[in-house]
């Protein structure tokens, strides 16, 4: 799994000079909940999901991570979420200590602060969605986010309906119904249950915003 140290310009991708490329098969765990958080990961390809279990067994998805995203930032010393590969994927992993050694403390701190800040903003936006939005609005926003992430005509959803449901605080049936509804209304067009195209971005944005 520890294949090679990727040689890349450090100015652009700080992970390259301090990290190790790792590959994970679909379904494999990058790290577990409550495990010490030592490594930071930058996703290179594929998609990763973070999740945590509530005391009553219900699951909350923290987020979905795509190439370029930094993963492994956690509040405190231990991972509050588990991370699992949704597709086969590769990531550059770097211990915090090595980042500091290679980049200098200041740059390493800046890197971590930026990642933490981005995660925080994401969490805040998610709070707003869960606190204020209807099922239809949540799904609309989710699909739009996925589309914006991939900037491709045909958007691929690497996660299943259950993952979407747990992310949005809904049930799998409701997610499915809302997708059907958006489809019927002509806002999106699902070619298969995991791929779609955006048909009416304006209406979708109006719903999700």
Q: Which residue has the tokens 């301090």?
A: 18
Find residue 89's DSSP bridge partners. Answer: 24
Element (H, E) at 139: helix 135-150
* CB nearer to its own copies: pick between 42 and 119: 119
* CB nearer to DNA: pick between 95 and 169: 169
Mark residues 52-71: x for contact with its own copies by CB under 8 A, - for none.
x-xxx-xxx-x---------
Nearest approach in angstroms of CB 181 to its own copies is 19
Element (H, E) at 172: helix 172-184
How do 82-85 and 89-95 pair as beta strands? unpaired
d(CA 15, CA 69): 11
Buried b (16+ CB within 10 A) or exposed e, 86-106: bbebbbbbbebebbbebbeee
Total residues at the site for DNA (CB under 7 A)? 21
* CB nearer to its own copies: pick between 115 and 185: 115
Nearest approach in angstroms of CB 176 to DNA is 3
193 interface partner picked from DNA, its own copies, none, CB below 5 to 8 A per type: DNA
Binding to DNA, residues 150-189 (CB under 7 A)? 160-162, 169-177, 179-180
72: CB partners within 8 A, 6+ apart: 30, 31, 37, 39, 40, 41, 79, 83, 93
Query: 3-state DSSP helix/strand/coil percent for the chain, to nearest 5?
Result: 40, 25, 35
Nearest approach in angstroms of CB 168 to DNA is 8
Contact residues for DNA, defined by CB under 7 A: 134-136, 160-162, 169-177, 179-180, 190, 192-194
Contact residues for its own copies, defined by CB under 8 A: 52, 54-56, 58-60, 62, 75-76, 80-81, 105-106, 109, 112-113, 116-121, 123-124, 126-128, 130-132, 166, 168-169, 209
């Amino acid at each position: 799994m520890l294949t090679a140290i990727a040689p890349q310009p450090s100015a652009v991708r700080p992970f390259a000079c301090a990290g190790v490329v790792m590959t994970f098969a679909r379904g494999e765990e990058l790290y577990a909940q409550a495990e010490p958080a030592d490594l930071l990961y930058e996703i290179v390809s594929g998609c990763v999901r973070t999740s945590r279990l509530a005391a009553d067994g219900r699951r909350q998805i923290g987020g979905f991570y795509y190439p370029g995203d930094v993963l492994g930032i956690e509040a405190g010393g231990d991972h509050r979420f588990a991370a699992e590969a949704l597709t086969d994927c590769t990531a550059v992993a770097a211990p915090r200590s090595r980042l500091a050694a290679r980049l200098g403390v200041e740059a390493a701190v800046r890197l971590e602060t930026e990642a933490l800040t981005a995660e925080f903003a994401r969490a805040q936006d998610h709070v707003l969605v869960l606190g204020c939005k209807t099922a239809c609005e949540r799904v609309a926003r989710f699909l739009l986010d996925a589309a914006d992430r991939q900037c491709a005509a045909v958007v691929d959803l690497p996660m299943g309906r259950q993952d979407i449901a747990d992310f949005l605080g809904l049930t799998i049936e409701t997610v499915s119904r809302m997708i059907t509804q958006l489809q019927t209304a002509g806002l999106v067009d699902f070619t298969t249950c995991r791929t779609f195209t955006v048909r009416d971005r304006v209406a979708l944005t109006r719903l999700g915003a």
